[in-house]
């Protein structure tokens, strides 16, 4: 049976689903976009694939025995607070953090972790959520995961598979009535042209740049994600909301660290957008775009 794209809501309000690997990823990738769309009356759901159980404590103030002993519960509380700040709905996919393997050679991934779960098994719960929430637009990571963490790469694979399966009545028939999302995007964050703009803007104002060493060690990449961007969403006025959501992830984010060395007002002046790559579309939308919902305005015919 053929896939049938579904109609948008007559009221003009749309639904956005963003799919992430760990709690805190939703606040460091596309959070201001989510906050903007919530403020405009759209529905946004954040899906977190794992509980972040194997994440390191990156904030020295939280590196305490009682926090380490209760990491799973702590990260759930942090995620709930960040979702509240952003105004988004939130769902856990329920898989176990794979951790970031380190060493040479790399150690094997732990049994039962997200990155080792069979792709079909990992895809079905996301298909179920898509059919329940019925997003018009889905955002996830590119094929490199944004960076090569095994959970980020798996998140990409699961998100693309679910986008393709959600509208197909022959796939996962026990996961609810089919619903076909209309657009799929990859989010792109720190790419060279953005870092250069921020770095030079800070220096021009006589300010210290936290990006100097980063740029000095930057390896040239012919596939730099900055070259793939199709869609820039203006959301500078929501950068302060993004910052609050990040700080809510207290085990993962040091409020005195690099994330917060550039004032939000200056970030909004130098680079006021969050940036995306349109990779699937069942509607007519001309790139470059300035809206993830561009083209999602009329009933889509089969």
pLDDT number for residue 299 = 44
Length of the chain: 302
pLDDT at 285 over 80: yes
pLDDT at 3 over 70: no
Q: For the chain, how are helix, strand and coil distributed in percent, rounded to 5?
A: 40, 15, 45
Average model confidence (pLDDT) across the chain: 92
Instruction: Please tell me the least confidently modeled range out of 78-87, 124-133, 211-220, 266-275.
Output: 211-220
**CB neighbours (10 Å) of residue 131?**
20
Q: Which two tokens stand for residue 127?
A: 């298909």
- Residue 144: C-alpha distances to residues 32, 148, 154, 157, 164 (Å): 22, 6, 10, 10, 19
For 27-82, the pLDDT digits (tens) are: 999 999 999 999 999 999 999 999 999 988 999 999 999 998 898 999 999 999 99
Confidence of residue 8 (pLDDT cuts 50, 70, 90): very low
Contact 182, 292 (CB under 8 A): no
* Mean pLDDT to the nearest integer, 141-161: 95
CA atoms of 270 and 236, how far apart (whole Å)? 10
pLDDT at 5 over 60: no
CA atoms of 57 and 75, how far apart (whole Å)? 11
Confidence of residue 9 (pLDDT cuts 50, 70, 90): very low
pTM for the full predicted model: 0.93
* Mean pLDDT to the nearest integer, 164-173: 97
pLDDT at 152 over 80: yes
- Residue 301: C-alpha distances to residues 14, 54, 122, 169, 213 (Å): 18, 45, 30, 17, 51
Confidence of residue 12 (pLDDT cuts 50, 70, 90): low
First to last CA, the chain: 12
pLDDT number for residue 219 = 83
**CB neighbours (10 Å) of residue 231?**
23
Q: Which two tokens stand for residue 259?
A: 């994330």
pLDDT number for residue 300 = 41
* Mean pLDDT to the nearest integer, 109-124: 97
The domain locations on the chain are 15-189+226-281
pLDDT above 70: percentage of residues in the chain: 94
Homologous superfamily of 15-189+226-281: LmbE-like (3.40.50.10320)
* Mean pLDDT to the nearest integer, 237-250: 97
Q: Which two tokens stand for residue 221?
A: 């990449």
């Amino acid at each position: 049976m053929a896939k049938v794209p579904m109609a948008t809501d007559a009221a003009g309000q749309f639904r956005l689903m963003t799919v992430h690997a760990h709690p805190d990823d939703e606040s460091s990738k596309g959070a201001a976009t989510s906050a903007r769309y919530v403020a405009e009356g759209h529905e946004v759901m954040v899906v977190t694939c794992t509980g972040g159980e194997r994440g390191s404590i990156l904030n020295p103030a939280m590196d305490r025995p009682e926090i380490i002993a209760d990491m799973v519960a702590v990260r759930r509380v942090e995620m709930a607070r960040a979702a509240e700040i952003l105004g988004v709905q939130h769902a856990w996919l329920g898989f176990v953090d794979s951790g970031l393997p380190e060493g040479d050679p790399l150690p094997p991934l732990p049994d039962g972790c997200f990155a080792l779960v069979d792709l079909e098994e990992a895809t079905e719960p996301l298909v179920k959520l898509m059919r329940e929430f019925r997003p018009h637009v889905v955002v996830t990571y590119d094929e490199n995961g944004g960076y090569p963490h095994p959970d980020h790469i798996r998140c990409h694979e699961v998100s693309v598979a679910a986008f393709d399966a959600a509208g197909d009545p022959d796939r996962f028939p026990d996961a609810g009535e089919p619903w076909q999302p209309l657009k799929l995007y990859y989010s792109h964050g720190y790419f060279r042209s953005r870092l250069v703009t921020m770095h030079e803007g800070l220096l021009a104002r006589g300010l210290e740049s936290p990006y100097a060493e980063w740029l000095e060690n930057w390896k040239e990449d012919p596939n730099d994600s900055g070259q793939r961007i199709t869609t820039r969403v203006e959301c500078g006025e929501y950068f302060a909301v993004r910052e609050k959501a990040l700080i809510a992830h207290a085990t993962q984010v040091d409020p005195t660290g690099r994330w917060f060395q550039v004032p939000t007002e200056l970030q909004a002046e130098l680079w006021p957008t969050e940036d995306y790559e349109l990779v699937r579309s069942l509607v007519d939308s001309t790139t470059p775009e300035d809206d993830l919902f561009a083209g999602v305005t009329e009933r889509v015919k089969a």
